Chains A and B, each alone.
Chain A
Amino acid sequence: DAGVIQSPRHEVTEMGQEVTLRCKPISGHNSLFWYRQTMMRGLELLIYFNNNVPIDDSGMPEDRFSAKMPNASFSTLKIQPSEPRDSAVYFCASSRDLGGSEQYFGPGTRLTVT
């Protein structure tokens, strides 16, 4: 079975550019999570969805960040405009539902903003 799929795996962009990260959750999973991982701040939850509806976006750092889940098999995290301090590894994870605690993580997207 395919796990959580993220693309691209690596993204290098210049400050001010728009960045779009993509995620395909595990089929049948109803909850999807976006995390950011840095050495300084560890693994931070940015936003999560349940049945395609955003439940909690309190972790989204600024208005430059936005996330959508147009259907059960696809989600995007967009940064516009990007800044060097956005450089991090961004993970998408999915779980069967919010009541189940097991989250399955994708391989991550390593973002570098120069």
Chain B
Amino acid sequence: TQLLEQSPQFLSIQEGENLTVYCNSSSVFSSLQWYRQEPGEGPVLLVTVVTGGEVKKLKRLTFQFGDARKDSSLHITAAQPGDTGLYLCAGRRTNAGKSTFGDGTTLTVKP
């Protein structure tokens, strides 16, 4: 049973479009992270959210943590080809616990 479910698994869009990807669980997390991974490289941390309902913005990326701290979303406005990559969410159930990763959403932005 996958602790963190990410959807959609694959997403292919045109440059300039908006998109939202989701990370859902039945478990409560003390914190949740979003990473982006490009081919041939390791995941790179984008953001950490810790408070239920929290919204963080990183340029064109908006991250939201669900009120119950069980789910999160990533919204990208006006996607660009440079946004192409694998987006992974990872949750920690305790402050000193290990992170569990979702399977990721593979995003392709076509010019």
Contact = CB atoms under 8 A, between A and B. Distances in A.
Interface in B66-111: 88, 92, 95-104
Interface string B5-39: 00000000000000000000000000101010000
Contacts of A102: 33, 45, 48
Nearest to A41: B103
A43 B98 CA distance: 13
Nearest to A43: B101
Given A48-B98, A99-B95, A107-B40, A42 B31 contact: no
Contacts of B48: 101-102
Contacts of B42: 4, 91, 93, 105-108
A98 interface: yes
A42 B101 contact: yes
Interface in A84-106: 91, 93, 98-99, 101-106
Given A42-B103, A42-B104, A105 B98 contact: no
B2 to A, nearest CB: 8
B43 interface: yes
B41 A107 contact: yes
Nearest to B30: A101
A48 B88 CA distance: 19
A45 interface: yes
Contact of B102 (A42, A48, A56, A91): A42
A32 to B, nearest CB: 12
B41 A108 contact: yes
A58 to B, nearest CB: 9
B51 to A, nearest CB: 13
Interface of A: 4, 33, 42-45, 48, 56, 91, 93, 98-99, 101-108
7 contacts: A43-B88, A45-B98, A45-B101, A48-B98, A101-B31, A101-B99, A102-B45
- Kindly list the 4 A-B residue pairs having the minimum CB-CB distance in the complex, ordered from nearest: A105-B42, A43-B101, A42-B103, A98-B96
